[in-house]
Every structure is written in C-alpha cells, then in structure tokens.
Chains A and B, each alone.
Chain A
C-alpha cells in the first residue's frame, strides 16, 4: 500500500499550523493532497475517519476548524506511528570494535566528572584528569572514556590535550586503529597530537599511512605528517622532493625529517646546502646522530676553521657559521668528526683559535645557554660534553681519553673524567681519577693545580644525579631542540656507577670544599661558602651511600647551624633525628621566616607531638624576643590552630 498521500496530507496540515487557519481556504496544495488521499479512505475505517475530518476542515461553513485540524493531525500521527518500519534488507557485516579498551563497572559519579573534564570547558578539569592519569586509573581504558581522551587531544586548554597525549602514548599499539579512525587530515592541533601519538607508538610501521595523509593534509597536519617520514630511510628521495616542492614550515619539517636520512641523495642535498648556506642549514642537522651527517658537519667545520686561521678578524656572518657548526657537532661520532676533534683539541690549534678576534677587535666569544661568553676552547669543551651525554659516542670518548692519557693535560681532565664515567667500570674510574682530589693536612695544603683538578672533577660530578626510577646514576645536560624550539634534558647512564670510595673521600673533613661549581638542576643550596660542594653531594645521594652522606650532612648542620639548608639532603638520606635543629638555627640567625619554619616542620619525619613542641618553642622564642620574625610576619592564630591540630592527631595516635 502506497502511504505517500497520507504523509503528504499530514505535511500539508502541519504547514497549515505554521501559516495559520485563516489561509486554509487558499491552500490549493492541501486541497490537492486531500484529493490524492481520497482513494485511501476506503481501505480502512481510520482512513475514512481522516478523510471525513479533512473534508470538514476544507468546508468554509465548519465552525470549529481549529479543533477539526487538531483531530485530523492526531489521527494522522497515530497512523504514522503504526506504519513505522523497522526492517532493513541486506547482508550484515560484523561489528569490529577497535582494541585497547574495556568495560569498567564504574558509577555515574565516577564517570561523569571525567567525561566532563574531557569534553567541557571551565576550571577544575585538569586536576580531575591529572589525578586519573597519575594513578593510572583503569577507568581511562573504559570504552566510554577512552574515545573522549582521543577527542581531548584537540582541547583548547593545551595542558589537558598534552596530558591526554602523554597518557595515550603509554597505551600500546592496540589503540592505533582508534587513533586512525576518523582522522581528519585537514584538522588542527588535535589531529597533530593524534598523529604524534601514532608516531610514538608505531614509528616506521605506519609509514604508508603517513604518506597517504599527505595527499589531503593541510597546514599543521601536513607539517607533522612530513616530519613523521623520518622513521623510514626509504623516504629519503621523497623527502628531497618535498624540500624542493614545499614552502614555509612544511619545507622546514621536510628538512628536519631529512636530517635523519643517510641515503646518498639526501647527503648530497645537505652537502650542497651546507656549502651554500651553512648557518641556515646546520641547525637542521643538529640532532642527527647519523655518521653521514656527522661527516658533513666535520667537513664544513674543518673548512670553516681552515678559512678562519687564514684571516685576522672574524666577520659577524663567519662567527654565526662557526657557532652553528659547533652547535651541530652534538652527538656526532663519525671517524671524520673524531679526526677533527683530535685536531681541534690540540693545544696549539686551540690556542690559535682562542686568539681569534671579532670585527670589533675584541676576542671572539660564544654565547651559550646564558653564559657570559666562552672562548673557542671553552665552547669546544661544552660541545664535547653535550655530545657524549646526548648520544652514545664511543669513538669520541676514546679520542678524549687517548688525548688525556698522552699528556695528562689539566685542560682535558674534565672531558676525560666524564668520558671515563660513561665507558669504564667504577673501580677503573676511581683508580684513574680518585687520586686527583687531595686531602689537606696541617702543613700540606691544596695547591693551585690540585684545586683546579678538584673543581674539574666536581664540575663533572655536578652533572650527575641518582635516578630513583631507574636506580642508576645518570649524567645530564640540557640541549636545544630547534624543531620544538625548547630546551630538553639529555641523560646517559654511568657505565659502572660511582665507587663508594668517592663518598668516603668527598665527606672527609680534610678535603677542601671551597670554590664554585655549576650543578645541573640546582636546588640552590649555595647559602654558605661551600654550598655548591654540598649540593653536588646532595644530588649523589642514593640508597647505597645514605649511611655515609647522612652523618656528613648532619655534621654540616652542626657546623653551620643551618637546618633549613640541609633538611632536604638529610631527609633524602633517611635521617630521622631533627631534634633541636630549629632552635640552633633560630638562635644563630636571630630571626626566623614563618614559611621556612612551616616547610621544615611539614617535611621532617617528626611525631605530631614533637612538631607541636617545636612550634611552641619557636613561638616562645618570638614572644620572649629571643628571635625576631623576618619581615615581622608571624601568623599567631594560624600557628595556634596548627599546634592544636597536631596535638589532636597526637592524642588520637596515643589512644590507638
């Protein structure tokens, strides 16, 4: 039965509602629809009833046309509901849900805040998501939440998007189909992050997909898709074409990716560009550790040095070229580069290059990481340290150690010590370098060379810290990622760790602690003269040396009366006895700063009753004017409440 006239007449009546009953007499379409409906009226009583109603409606004599219209519409709607179809013909294809998800039986009160955090706007969202990510909540893998996490990669609040990205990169390859599903090559930052997650999880495995994206991808996604080609060496020729055909940031991205390629045509392109525009080209090659690239940088740097040696002054452009080429030596360890290192580290050539003068007649200086200006030899030393930490450079480590072994030159000590730590056992390192730090006696004092050697050793130790997660000592350096335009941390495990004898030596009271040393990620303990020395040791605290370093720091507190400086190292050493430290500190200093006292008492492992007593003791000292409150800030009421709370907790613990 063709019910089209039924739907037609219903639609016309609804239009009457929109236009108004006053126009119904002129509605010829309605009249035509009613005429077309007429043949159906005989098919069933309800259709007959509708037909009768329609005729009544069209009759100008009808008094209650509104009521009739409503009755007709009610009847028509009822018939439409009863005629609603459900069936659908054809072969069913199986439903294939993407993997990586599960069903977690979680109530609305747990799911909804997370859903809102991932989909809504407003404050408080980050914290909800952060907590879930932090505890690796299983709820994040729920099939109702997981798609929202992918959606959140495009969140306008970039911290949330980055948090989602960080979590997704830990979810394994199983989620790749979901990430690729509904991917919009013309999308914005959300799609870029999605692509970055795919890159982290799949790397070269998805090379074909990356290439397919380029057919449609626009702007940011295009830039990232081009960069994703870096994983597959076979993309070399294609990337060379992209360097020629793309413009702007897409072209830059092609260059970044090309820096990872070793195909001859890629290296040829770089060689050509390095010759033409070295200062603009070298930054792209900075993070590459490929030998082919390393050879090219070595060649360009050697040429540059050769040219500079033949002239008296260095122009601004030449200065920029030399600086970017030295930057680009990061992690380069090819044979050619090592030959060049050998030459550059030669004392005569170093001295010659140190003597180079800038256009203004002043000695040539390199500005690196906020330093005041380094000479060529100092810059080279930094470059070598950066290289051996950024990448595994066995040849470079060997070169440095061989050079040092040849003349035992103090200028190479730091480099050789760092290289030894990365390549030799801890016993060997101790044997070779442990003797360079001398203990002082009543008569025998540390000479200039001894001080220099000690500071060089401490400088390298200042780059080392204990990684609790990996349970290893790591040497760390900053490096600049030109593509991300940000500084990042490079970390490399020490081959054999640190021999315990280092700690016995460094905590010996006869070792001189004076002198300034830079410490990686400093906690700024440098309050006292020898703060830098102690900070180096603070970073070296590990479960194995707590028994040596703990008593050392305690001794330092006794010597300096400065528990505020040393409580964190002491806690790191598992120290439990902090009794009386605060009183000694306050007495010596003559004034206390509320926040320092609060942080100290919050952090130290004391019982609640004891903490309350410490607060009361300081309160008392202030009341009796034995000490002053720094800046006059001492919130009495707040402290009283704190003491009451501590006492309350202590009482309940006693009850238990």
Chain B
C-alpha cells in the first residue's frame, strides 16, 4: 500500500474535502487505527457529528482502484473521513495490526465473486440499435441543413445584425439544434452570439472580438460542410458506429471508452507525468474545465485530460487536482485528434517521479523551435483543429528584448513568450519573470498560439523543466 499526498489529491473529490480531511487528521479524530497484516486494508473509527463514530476503511486489494467505505451519510466518495484516514497514514501515525473485519471480508468475497462471474473479461459492449442510429444520422443531417440556412442568412445580413432581439432568435435556433443531436454546432452558434455581445459591450476590444467571431463562423461553416459529407457517407455505408474522425466529436458526439477501444485508440502500460494543470470557466458551456497536460515518458506524446464540471452539478462531479507523481496507466484511451489528443483512463498507480524520469522527459522535448512551430502550423491550418498546441521546447536562454520575454533554443532560434488572450490577471509570463533561476537552461512546456493582430506565433509558458524538477507557472 503506497499512500502519498499525491494519491490523496488524486482521489479527493474537491479541495474542501482535502482541507476537511486534513483537519480530521490534525485533530486526531480517529481512534482504533488498524491495518491488516498484508497492509491491503486500513480502518478506524472517526468522531463525527453523529451519535456513534463513523467506521471508515480503505481497501487496497486492487492498488489501482482503492475502495473507500465509510458509514457517514456523505455522498462524496471518498468522504472527508476516508481522506482523514489516509492523512493519518501519511503522517506516520501508529496503526495496530489485526485480522480483516468480517464485514469487510464479506464485501471483498462478494466483489471477487462478481468478478469471477464476469470471468475477468471486459463488459460486453451494448448492442447498438442500428435503426435508431440511422434515424439519428438523418436527423443530424436535417439539423445541419437548418444550421446551414442560418449561417447563410447571417452572412447575407451581416454579423452586425446579431444584436438586440436577433440575439434571442439565434439563441433559440441554437437551442433547436439540440433537438437534432448537434451540440457541437449549437456551441459554435452560442460562442458566436457571445462574441458579438462582447463586441457590443466592449467596443474597445472590437478587433479581437470580431476576429474571434469570424473565425467561429468560418469553423461553423466548415463543420457543416464537412459533416454533411461525412454523415451522408456513413448513411450510405450503413455504418452508424463512431469512427476515428474528429467530426464525431465536433458534432457533439460523446466518446465511450469501449468505443475508443473498439477503434483501437488506446495504449497499454502508459507512463504519464503531468506537466501542467489548470481550471478554467467556460461561460458558454456554463462549465468548469479541469485541464491537465501530460507527457508520455516513453513516447514523448503530450496529451490532455479534460474534466467538465457543469455549474448545475458541481457538487456531484469530482474536481481534479495537480499530480506530481509518475502515473502508470494500465489502459489509456485516446480521443481522435491532432497534437494534444484527449486521454482518459479508469485506473492508475502512482509512484514518485525520479530524476531519471525527469531526464527522460527532457529527452522527449522537441528538437528545436522550428520543428515545433512547423508541427503547430500543420495543425492550425486545418479549419476544424485547435488554433493552439502544447509543446515541450528545449532552451538555452530566456531573456528580455524590447520589454518582451524571449525564449532562445539551442540553435539560436527565438520565440516571444506571451499570455494567451483572455488570460487577464493570470499571467504566466509575469510569473516567469518572478521565478528564481528561470533563466537556467532546460526545457519549457507551453502553448503555441497564433496571434491574429500581431500575425505572429507566440508561446505561453506553463512549466519549466530542469534536470531536477518541474516548476509549474500555474498549478
């Protein structure tokens, strides 16, 4: 059993639960701290607001998927008591040894029985209703026709007409697209409306908002055009299952792990290290987005984990956190995409990130700025792709030129470091200028992006990797 601070942060539902767990541990609220002989189970009793103490246990029989049990009424798993028990373990408190309680042994047996019945095999994929899927595709095509008419009308009348009562009309049209299983295009229209509203509210930022609006409109038109062909082809072929096209997600399709496995978009025994973590709020989606960038220590691929937490369900969705350890993932599933594919996994085990691990990461950096920029340009020129890409760049020097912070690679090529637009008050460039020892050579992890007004490609720094540590400029 390897409980670490990192593991606690990984499994905790949110920051408040961690803080509460720490308090429980600091107040020594647990009594009867006990572990099983093989150290696969720890348990104890915790004083709570109830009449009788809560019985809390953590079962590490499957170390990648620990089972948290507690008699408290909390709906959070793990609850603050389970976290407190783990903090007690990390703090090195004394755990006496005892046989596994009967009640937990029974639960273990039942679980093992269930797994044996399944034969250890992955659950069979649900049978698809081909007729329903075909109907859905047809409905989507009809929705795309409607979206196309909308775009054409908007182009004819001009974006400037997207104001006042017209905003409501377009919002209603966007909602209507939801009935056609097209949440992707729906989101495009909502973003378009948002940009025009921002433009009207803030005439000073007109150029940037208008630029964004026209980019969104081009992307929407392109999505409609390509999606029509894609859906028509699928209908013609009678293939209604998700495939590796990015259009599936662009239209708003939601990937299931079993589908990703079916199309072969997964890897076994992947070793990942998080390079950066951040939480942002998407006004249009009304969701918090927890985004972590991870590097595959063996292949060097940089992928991202994305966790969407809708405002309406904040209490019930786990808030992700920073991970400093090396995560070994038995099965990592990748979404179709370009440079930074989205990755998901069900279970992982954590181990400390060693100096050798960091050296391996450094070895996986792009050869130079030119190569990285070329890869970024290749992605950005595709209308449906992201206009930014996370990269790991080696550098020989970071310095100041014309009041800008500049990164220089080993070949003497340079790139200006700049915050992504809209990052007000969260400048990582300013943070970099505060960082002691930042100018020492190493590698920088950051986001390459194209700045429309300046017509230049910049990089937003997110982390610095030296031979000894990964220094995060955000979280």
Contact = CB atoms under 8 A, between A and B. Distances in A.
Interface stretch (B55-63, B112-120, B138-146, B409-417): B409-417
Interface stretch (A96-104, A153-161, A234-242, A357-365): A96-104
Interface stretch (A18-26, A32-40, A628-636): A18-26
B93 to A, nearest CB: 12
Interface string B19-53: 10000000000011000000000000101000111
6 contacts: A80-B450, A84-B455, A103-B436, A109-B18, A113-B15, A144-B474
A478 interface: no
A652 B381 contact: no
A94 B213 CA distance: 39
A83 interface: yes
B406 A88 contact: yes
Nearest to A111: B475
B436 A78 contact: no
A288 to B, nearest CB: 40
A280 interface: no
A88 B404 contact: yes
B436 A95 contact: no
Given A20-B155, A66-B152, A95-B399, 17 more contacts: A7-B455, A17-B213, A66-B156, A69-B155, A78-B381, A79-B381, A85-B456, A86-B456, A88-B404, A98-B434, A103-B435, A105-B324, A106-B322, A107-B6, A144-B474, A178-B434, A653-B31
Interface stretch (B217-225, B241-249, B335-343): B217-225
A648 interface: yes
A86 B415 contact: yes
Contacts of B131: none
B400 interface: yes
Main secondary structure of the interface of B (DSSP, over half): mixed
Question: 10 tightest CB-CB pairs across the interface, nearest first?
Answer: A20-B158, A92-B399, A109-B15, A107-B322, A78-B381, A652-B31, A108-B475, A70-B221, A84-B457, A81-B380
Contact of B473 (A97, A113, A144): A144
B383 interface: yes
B210 A14 contact: yes
A588 interface: no
Contacts of A649: 47
A93 B406 CA distance: 10
B402 interface: yes
Contacts of B14: 109
Contacts of A144: 431, 473-474
Nearest to A20: B158
Interface string A112-139: 1100000100000000000000000000
A652 B54 CA distance: 13
B159 A95 contact: no
A655 B32 contact: yes
A248 interface: no
B219 to A, nearest CB: 9
Interface string B436-471: 111100000000001110011110000000000101
A381 to B, nearest CB: 51
A644 interface: yes
B302 interface: no
Contacts of B439: 94-95
Contacts of B455: 7, 80, 83-85
A77 B277 contact: no
Contact of B436 (A79, A88, A97): A97
B97 interface: no
Contact of B450 (A23, A84, A101, A178): A84
Contacts of A497: none
A509 B473 CA distance: 68
A73 interface: yes
B158 A23 contact: yes
B416 A86 contact: yes
Interface string A612-624: 0000000000000
Contact of A102 (B277, B433, B436): B436
Contacts, number: 199
Nearest to A92: B399
Contacts of A82: 377, 381
Interface in A255-274: none
B405 interface: yes
Centre residue among B155, B373, B435 by max chain A CB count within 10 A? B155
Contacts of B9: 107, 109
Interface string A557-601: 000000000000000000000000000000000000000000000
Contacts of A103: 435-436, 469, 471
Contacts of B313: none
Contacts of B382: 78
Contacts of A101: 434-436
Contact of B408 (A73, A92, A110, A111): A92
A470 interface: no
A97 B450 contact: no
B387 interface: yes
A93 B475 contact: no
A656 interface: yes
Contacts of A19: 158, 160
A376 interface: no
B399 A94 contact: yes
A81 B450 contact: yes
A81 B456 contact: no
Given A88-B401, A103-B471, A108-B277, A77 B218 contact: yes
A52 interface: no
Contacts of B18: 109
A90 interface: yes
Given A81-B450, A645-B47, A652-B32, A14 B399 contact: no
B379 to A, nearest CB: 9
A210 interface: no
A147 interface: yes
Contacts of B433: 95, 97
A87 interface: yes
Nearest to A107: B322
Contacts of B218: 70, 73-74, 77
B425 interface: yes
Nearest to B475: A108
Contact of B158 (A17, A70, A79): A17
A93 B450 contact: no
B45 A652 contact: yes
Contacts of A74: 218, 221-222, 383
B214 interface: yes
Interface string B381-399: 1110001000000000111
Nearest to B448: A86
A214 to B, nearest CB: 27
Given A14-B211, A99-B436, A107-B321, A86 B369 contact: yes
A9 to B, nearest CB: 14
B355 interface: no
A653 B32 CA distance: 10
A17 B151 CA distance: 11
A119 B427 CA distance: 13
A80 B453 CA distance: 11
A91 interface: yes
Contacts of A102: 436
B157 interface: yes
A21 B435 contact: no
Nearest to A148: B425
A396 B370 CA distance: 79
Given A86-B369, A108-B321, A18 B435 contact: no
A20 B162 CA distance: 11
B401 A66 contact: no
B159 A17 contact: yes
A644 B47 CA distance: 11
B326 interface: no
